[in-house]
Structure 1
Amino acid sequence: MALMVFATAFYVAAEFSSISARKTRIIQLANEGNFAAKMLQPIVEHNVRLDQYVAASQVGISISSLILGAYGQNTVAAAIAPLLVAWGIGNLTPALALSISVTGVLVFLTILQVVLGELLPKSLTIQYPERVALATVMPMKWSLAIFRPLIWLFNGSANLIVKLFGVNRAADDHAHLHSPEEIELLVHQSYSGGLLDDQVQQLLRNALRLRELTARQVMVPRIQMVAAPVTSSVPQLIEQACIEGYSRIPLYQGTVDNIVGLAHLKDLFRLQLEERTDPAESMRSIEFVPEGMPAADVWTMLKTKGRYLAVVLDEYGGTAGLISIEDLVEEIFGELLDEFDDELPLIASGEDGRVHLRSDLLVADINEYFKLDLPEDYADTLGGLVFNLLGRVPKTGDEVTAGVSPVRIRVEQMDGLHVLEVSLQLPSKALPHIREWRLPDAD
């Protein structure tokens, strides 16, 4: 009996672990020279072999269960029945005693089979799928050879029945494929389990989130663009590039809505050395993208064409802003500051307990970081949200309330008509979360 229960537990563990084991981990172990992993790798990589492996487990489970039931009924129950008659329990007849013993033995064996043969191996396999799969692969190889005729019969019958119902089994029906949402959930679970640190988790989440962003949300807006008329001289453009700290300057004809090309500082220095003053002689072409284009597609386009930046156009064909490789990289790795950058910190904590934020931060990001519910329909950025809620040009000190859990947003700094910095008075439930995102002020 114990042997049959153990056999059932073994085949249950083998079946469950072969399906739940991570294929990437098995391949990694195989590449490192693990003998068992080398045996298991072709099974988890090929669906036909995995089908046969699972079928062998099912055959083993069925045979061990049948033997256990037959042994319990014919041997154990038959041995218990005479004892019941001999003890004189209720003046039982031999036939009734046999029926009672058979029922009792079957109930006992069922409980034993479910607990030790099913639940226990499944629990262990859930905790250690790769370890269990590697531990069971060698005996399973023998089982595959022994049960091959039965596997062929049962698998063939099952496939035939499936085809009769008009279902075509896909070639990758066992493939461990995951949607972006599932991958994000896996990242969160790995982080919660301590397998990923905070920085790696954030990088992975940012990379996955890039598919949700558009060029409009990532671009440098028109008001912050650095551009120059195409009629500018080479010395003028060199001076502007040095003052602004950029190596590429878009050139426009008439207005910034008519960008005709790009001046690169390297080309400008070459023209100056050759004593030529017209930047149009070395003007480079520039790419244009709609503001609704997914940020991931912008990345692919720029990389494919070997470009660094593109002009973002609004629905009317006007210039909405500029988007560069650096802007896209910053969406994954965070702000990249060099010696030419003089920007406010993204997030800082004030002495008054308020959280100070740059106004160009996306409302969606703030909602995620601080677990808020600020409306995302009014505008993409915090500055735009304040502008829309006020219904007029903001002034320093203006305050608005937004969100289901009310959050007070105050304008802290303006630059003409443009909001530079805002501060939030967060609800108490969000306060512990701030520490993860607090950045030192950079003067």
Structure 2
Amino acid sequence: MENWINFGIALLLVAINGFFVAAEFALVKARPSRLEQLALGGNLFAKVANWLARRLDASLSACQLGITLASLALGWVGEPAFHHLIEPVFAWMGISNPDVLHYVSLAFAFTTITALHLVVGEQAPKIFAIRKPEPMAVWCALPLAGFYYVAYPLLVALNWITSLLLRSIGVEAVDEHGTPHTEEELRNLVAQSHVHGELTRSEAQLINAVLEFDDQSAHQIMTPRTDVITLSMDAPIEDWITTIRKYRFSRYPVVEQSLEKAVGVLHIQHLVGLDLSQPLDRAALLQPPNFVPETIPIKTLLQHFKSSQSLLAFVVDEHGTVVGVVTLEDVLEELVGELEDEFDEQVRDIVPEDDQTFRVLGQTPLDDINKAMGLTLQSHDSDSLGGFVMQHLGRVAEQGDVIQIDGAKIEILRVEGPRIVSMRVRLSAPLASLDAPTSTDDNEDSAAQ
């Protein structure tokens, strides 16, 4: 009878061990925001679970203490109980030598209790808690809180001894569970959430765009100087109207001779309702010019647009030369993708000709090329493929020039003056799959062509 009592105690200890394992992993995996939401619903178990989660280190110490005590007790009670229950079975099978019978029974009992401990007391509750952390944390809350209070003096003593030991060897105890995630870890979490269906593709792309947001500068998103459409301050008003009707932008830089002599920015709504046959005070129609350095991070640029109430800025380099213009729309497109209106004509930067060959615009960013084609092109001086090719050539590119780089051959298809307009990129091996090509809009809300 005593053996059967010990056998029942052993099974109970396995269940207790499983309880503490499940509680530990549930508290680690549970989202604090979800537990707070459940607690606000008035559920007592959820309130206790939220209380334990706010004291995560102490709660996990209680779980570890419970696991250790249960495991030690199981080894003390379980093996003898299983040994004495199994010994008669082996004797019935014909094992008569007392020593052989003892060791075979002991080995079988050890194997059985170990398997039971691992499967029922460790793996099963751990996996269940990982897959359903919030429900498990809520279910375990009250018993764990009771054990936490009962064992609190012992937990304090053990934590004090641990801290003393760590300090003696020059290590400061830290709250490892409060360590923030790195940007790369956040990207991995987003990718895993997308794979498991917790985030849609568009949600994952938006979060990744936010993480990349502050890594870019105005120089990388601006409309280059060569593409900027301007209005001359001295030109007849009829020329202004012709240009506005042709390009259909909402804002235009107004200059005297060059962008370095920018007078201001014209919004076409300021022309609405005016009698254009009469002399106009053009200066009164313009917003003051707004200049930003090309190195300004786009996060800072966004704040600049919000504070200045000017949605178009002239981008200048270290020498004070205007190298392009940038708009609020350019900044927002880095987060949400291309924004097109009824006048925009979609022009794709990367157009596949087959699974190995692509027609690419010279202004296409290197990052887009690398993502779409699986390449690793890098340049400290150029952000676009055209600039990368020009740097590789070491001279002004000409139509028909061909360069060979790791993984691809690039042929110049069209140039306009010193600028590369389009190229053909042929990969050394076909892509197994191609992401949707990046598309850009030549008619952005800036004065870009």
Please report the TM-score for the alignment, with normalisation by the length of structure 2. 0.80
Q: CA deviation at 1:13?
A: 1.4
| Cα distance, 1:28 vs structure 2 | 4.8
**For 1:24-47, what per-residue CA distance to the aligned partner results, in whole angstroms no more than 9, with x for missing partners?**
443455567766444423433x2x
Q: How many Å apart are 1:219 and its aligned residue?
A: 0.7
Q: What amino acid maps onto 2:423 in structure 1?
A: V
Contact 2:52 2:141 in 1 (8 A): no
Contact 2:231 2:253 (8 Å CA) reproduced = yes
Residue in structure 2 matching 1:56, options 59, 62, 71 = 62
Q: 2:266 is matched with which residue?
A: 263
Q: Distance in 2 between matches of 1:244 and 1:340?
A: 9
3-state SS of paired residue (1:420): strand
Partner of 2:411, secondary structure, is: strand
Return the letter of the residue paired with 1:261: G
Q: Is the 8 A contact 1:238 1:265 kept in 2?
A: no
What is the CA–CA distance in structure 2 between the aligned matches of 1:241 and 1:440, rounded to whole Å? 21
Residues 1:43 and 2:52 are matched in the alignment? yes
Match for residue 118 of structure 1 among 98, 118, 122: 122
240, 249, 254: which one pairs with 1:251?
Answer: 254
* Amino acid in the other structure paired with 2:140: T
Contact 1:349/1:355 (CA < 8 Å) preserved in 2?
Answer: yes
- The secondary structure found in structure 2 opposite 1:355 is strand
Q: Distance in 2 between matches of 1:32 and 1:404?
A: 59
Asked whether the 8 Å contact 1:228–1:249 carries over to 2, the reply is yes
**How do residues 398-413 of structure 1 correspond to structure 2 at under 5 angstroms?**
398-405=400-407, 407-413=408-414
Q: Is the 8 A contact 1:410 1:423 kept in 2?
A: yes
Give the superposition deviation at 1:4: 0.3
2:352 maps to 1:349: yes
AA partner of residue 118 (structure 1):
E
Deviation at 1:415, TM superposition (A): 4.0
**How far did residue 56 of structure 1 move?**
2.0
Aligned to 2:13: 4
1:401-432 deviation per Cα after TM superposition (whole angstroms, max 9, x unaligned): 44322x23233444444333323223444152
In the alignment, which residue of structure 1 is the partner of 2:134? 130
Deviating more after overlay: 297-306 vs 315-324: 297-306
The alignment partner of 1:184 has SS state of: helix
CA shift in 2, pair 1:317/1:149, >3 Å: same
State yes or no: 1:325 paired with 2:328. yes
Distance in 2 of aligned mates of 1:323 and 1:305: 14
* 1:179 corresponds to which of 178, 182, 196: 182
Q: Deviations over 1:160-193 (max 9, x none)?
A: 55566665556x6423622221111122222333
Identity %: 29
Match of 1:419 in 2: 420
| DSSP-derived class of the 1:432 partner | coil
Which residue of the partner structure matches residue 74 of structure 2?
A: 68
Alpha-carbon distance, 1:433 to partner: 1.7
Taking the aligned partners of 2:216 and 2:69, their CA distance within structure 1 comes to 55
Unaligned runs of 5+ in 2: 1-9, 443-449
Number of residue equivalences: 432
Separation in structure 1 between the aligned mates of residue 295 and residue 223 of structure 2, nearest angstrom: 14
Alignment root-mean-square deviation, CA? 3.8
- Where 2:260 maps in the other structure, the secondary structure is coil
| One-letter code aligned to 1:150 | L
Alpha-carbon distance in 2 for matches of 1:181, 1:91: 62
Task: Name which of 27, 31, 46 aligns with 1:22.
Answer: 31
Secondary structure of the corresponding residue to residue 421 of structure 2? strand
User: Once the 2 structures are TM-superposed, how far is the Cα of residue 382 of structure 1 from its aligned partner?
Assistant: 1.9
Equivalent position of 1:283 in the other structure: 286
SS where residue 257 of structure 1 aligns?
Answer: strand
Residue in structure 1 matched with residue 210 of structure 2 by the alignment: 207
Does the 8 Å contact 1:78/1:98 carry over to 2?
A: no
Could you tell me how far apart the structure 2 residues matched to 1:188 and 1:333 are? 18
SS in 2 for 1:344: strand
In structure 1, the gaps of 5 or more residues are none
What is the distance in 2 between the residues matched to 1:365 and 1:350?
17
Distance 1:88 1:19 in 2: 49
Distance 1:39 1:187 in 2: 29
SS at match of 1:321: strand
Give the Cα–Cα distance (whole angstroms) in 2 for the partners of residues 8 and 25 of structure 1.
26
CA distance in 2, matches of 1:232, 1:173: 67
Q: Distance in 1 between matches of 2:315 and 2:258?
A: 15
User: 3-state SS of the aligned residue for 2:314?
Assistant: strand
Correspondence 1:335 to 2:338: yes
Query: What are the superposed Cα offsets for residues 197-239 of structure 1, whole Å, 9 maximum, x if unpaired?
Result: 4333333323322222221111100101123344456665455
SS at match of 2:287: coil
Q: Partners in 2 of 1:183 and 1:194 — Cα distance?
A: 16
- Mapped to 1, the partners of 2:373 and 2:156 lie a distance apart of 57
Amino acid at match of 1:308: L
The AA in structure 1 aligned to 2:27 is S
Is 1:222 the counterpart of 2:222? The answer is no
- How far apart are residue 252 of structure 1 and its match? 3.3
Q: Which is further off, 211-220 or 158-167?
A: 158-167
Segment drifting more, 192-201 vs 319-328: 192-201
Deviations 1:266-316, CA, capped at 9 Å, x for gaps: 344477689662322343233322222222222232234333122211122
Contact 2:360–2:424 (Cα < 8 Å) also in 1: yes
Q: Deviations over 1:115-142 (max 9, x none)?
A: 4322333333333333432332233233
